[in-house]
Structure 1
Amino acid sequence: MLAKESRPRVAVYGLGGTIAMTSDGSGGVVPALSAAQLVAAVPGLAETGVDIEVEDFRRLPGASLGLSDLTDLAVEIDKRLASGTVDGVVVTQGTDTIEETSYLLDLFHTAPQPVVLTGAMRNPTLAGADGPANLLAAVQTAAHPSARDLGVLVVLADEIHAAGRVRKTHATSVTTFRSPNGGPLGYVVEGTPRLLNHPTERTTLDLSNLGSGPRVALVTVALGDDGLLLDGLAERVDGAVIAAFGVGHVPKNLVPALEDLANRVPVVLASRTGAGAGLATTYGFPGSEQDLLGRGLIQAGFLDPYKARVLLWALLATGHERAAVSETFASASGHSPPDPSHPSEKMRKPTCAVTN
């Protein structure tokens, strides 16, 4: 007689967000629904054959989540997956910060089981609320064997995105999430994840090395920028990301301040455009990408400024020094490693892993 096949098990962690909001009587909505209430409100979930466990981890708007909330969650998920009691994890949260929170969780996620983030653009009091459909698709993805070994995924509007690529691109549209560099990994079709491509590589860090949180600034360069936000910045931060024009350009008057900053703390040069890679050798004028990289700034490559800040924060929080930071960014962004002979490079063997 054949043994009865076990049902897949998925743990749902609730963090709050629009998906969990209801009216508080003042004319606005606030996070109020528990993870159990969210799961109970999903039509068709009981028919999927997936056993659901729920955990109320936080009940906050997405904008109020902090880095410590996410590292605490990473620890809890790591323990849950290591116990072997679930086949996957779903996290519900506000969409404001999913593009950042998913990447932070991805950096610390080394288990084969999928971790899927989802949320909603329309709260449950509105016609056409998308939360139940998104949660259903996220559970179906997290429970499916094809989603294993892909790291952290983001599933909304029946699209499956890699955490390292996904961006929120519209303030209100239910199809706000896009992956400009590479497109979605696949789609949920009739309740089954259909994967059309896979991430080429992922950068992962050792969660056990996590120390006190560094302070990492994100400075966006604008037309006619006089560098006010750079004044005294080195004394106040442990690292910085510069969201520069185009392929990595800044006004020439900012060059001295950026060089001084890069001599004191790791400074990552990213493009503020939101898609495409920064360049390295095409332009040579003062304030160009070639000029800035030659002065010790670190190339973000395909990583947008928000994800570059998350990676820099995570590297510094796990004890990486400048050379290891540069080397990891080179791997994570698809560029060649930096020149170790550059005076700003203090060599240290990196403790992160890039997995194919």
Structure 2
Amino acid sequence: MSTRVRVITTGGTIASRPDPNGAVSIAVSGHDVVGTVPAGVTVEIDEAMLVHSFNLTLDGVRHIAERVCAAVTEPGVDGVVVTHGTDTMEETAYFVDLVLGPDRTVVFTGAQRHAGEADGDGPRNLADALRVAAATAGRGLGAVIAMAGGVHAARHATKAHTVAMEAFDSPDHGPIGHVYGGRVRVTATPVRPAGFDLAELGGQAARVDIVPVYLGADGVHVAASLAAGARGIVLEALGAGNPTPGVLREVHACVAAGVPVLVTSRCRRGPAVPLYGRGGGADLADAGAVFADDLGAPKARLLLTAALSAEANPERALARLRPHLTS
């Protein structure tokens, strides 16, 4: 019996070819993206959009999530694959993971080489993604990324190389599975706390800004975000989660104004934890900032955005997201 897989296409390098000037541009329709289909799989195409992922907005990501959530609950659909540009794939996958039911799986994939290259990686990645979707139907893995033979949980996956075909890594965790010789092997099941229902997020997403911390940062960017109406701030802090004096001062102002601050690290490995006093992360915690463990800044932003969109009260929003701040 054939496994029915819905492929939701959104564009990206996997759907691109060079234009006459040599720039890589979206040019391949969803129906043309899908090439050889693994035996035992029946594919149907849903062309959601045709864009580079660096042009996506939160509204676009929500549109993809709506298509995914509709597909996974449609009778007769056994699995769902999303083709997506790699630049922001980890963010879209994580947002979908936050709104996907506990017994669902959706597989994201894409390419590092465009469709016009003879040795492009798109067809292999898509075939592997179809195999993963067919093999893990009902397994409750949530959103995963299948690229270059690896299967990565959405929470931990990050783009680790700009151009190499092994683009994604899961720092400190590793992949949860692999595809070898057409066979899928899943070795771990991600821990997925209760997420959010798309309907409760409303029409307008809460504004949450990411502010990087760097040598001598004076806090002006935190203050500018607060003045611009940000309802939450994600601090991409130094080391284990340390601010500069100017940033610490502005974090006090944010918390006093009822604007939650999540602290992440600009390091790729290791958690953000309040270790240091005398102006360090411990003082951020004392000011009321919340540490995001090993969740990177882009995903921490999406988590805080979802929580603040679902809950008008900052304390209730923080209560909703705290179960997600453990690795």
**Deviation per CA, 1:220-270, whole angstroms, max 9, x where unpaired?**
011111222123421311111000001110112322111101222111111
Which residue number corresponds to residue 293 of structure 1?
285
Q: What does residue range 293-332 of structure 1 map to in structure 2 within 5 Å?
A: 293-319=285-311, 321-332=313-324
**Amino acid of the residue matched to residue 21 of structure 1?**
S
Q: Which runs of 5+ in 2 are unaligned?
A: none
Which residue number corresponds to residue 15 of structure 1?
10
Which residue number corresponds to residue 171 of structure 2?
180
Counterpart Cα distance in 2 of 1:184 and 1:209: 31
Counterpart Cα distance in 2 of 1:143 and 1:320: 39
Which residue number corresponds to residue 217 of structure 2?
225
- Choose from 16, 21, 30 the match for 1:26: 21
Q: How far did 1:136 drift?
A: 0.3
Which residue number corresponds to residue 157 of structure 1?
148
Maintained 8 Å contact 1:13/1:92: yes
Counterpart Cα distance in 2 of 1:7 and 1:321: 48
Which residue number corresponds to residue 109 of structure 1?
100
* RMSD, aligned CA: 1.6
Maintained 8 Å contact 1:81/1:111: no
Instruction: Please give the secondary structure, in 2, of the residue aligned with 1:243.
Output: strand
Instruction: Please give the secondary structure, in 2, of the residue aligned with 1:143.
Output: helix
Q: What does residue range 128-207 of structure 1 map to in structure 2 within 5 Å?
A: 128-145=119-136, 148-207=139-198
- Which is worse superposed, 231-240 or 269-278? 231-240
Q: How many residues align?
A: 324
**Amino acid of the residue matched to residue 58 of structure 1?**
M
Which residue number corresponds to residue 273 of structure 1?
267
Larger-gyration structure (1/2) = 1
Q: How far did 1:200 drift?
A: 2.7
Counterpart Cα distance in 1 of 2:118 and 2:130: 23
Maintained 8 Å contact 1:160/1:184: yes
Counterpart Cα distance in 2 of 1:154 and 1:82: 20
Give the TM-score, by structure 1 length.
0.87
- Which is worse superposed, 294-303 or 203-212? 203-212
- Choose from 61, 65, 73 the match for 1:70: 61
Maintained 8 Å contact 1:209/1:318: yes
Q: Which runs of 5+ in 1 are unaligned?
A: 1-5, 336-356
**Amino acid of the residue matched to residue 222 of structure 1?**
Y
Which residue number corresponds to residue 201 of structure 2?
210
Counterpart Cα distance in 2 of 1:111 and 1:301: 22
1:54 aligns with 2:49: no
- Choose from 255, 260, 275 the match for 1:262: 255
Which residue number corresponds to residue 233 of structure 2?
240
Instruction: Please give the secondary structure, in 2, of the residue aligned with 1:155.
Output: strand
Counterpart Cα distance in 1 of 2:167 and 2:148: 9
Counterpart Cα distance in 2 of 1:243 and 1:177: 20
Maintained 8 Å contact 2:105/2:137: no
Counterpart Cα distance in 2 of 1:182 and 1:231: 35
**Amino acid of the residue matched to residue 232 of structure 2?**
G
Counterpart Cα distance in 1 of 2:108 and 2:303: 18
Maintained 8 Å contact 2:94/2:154: yes
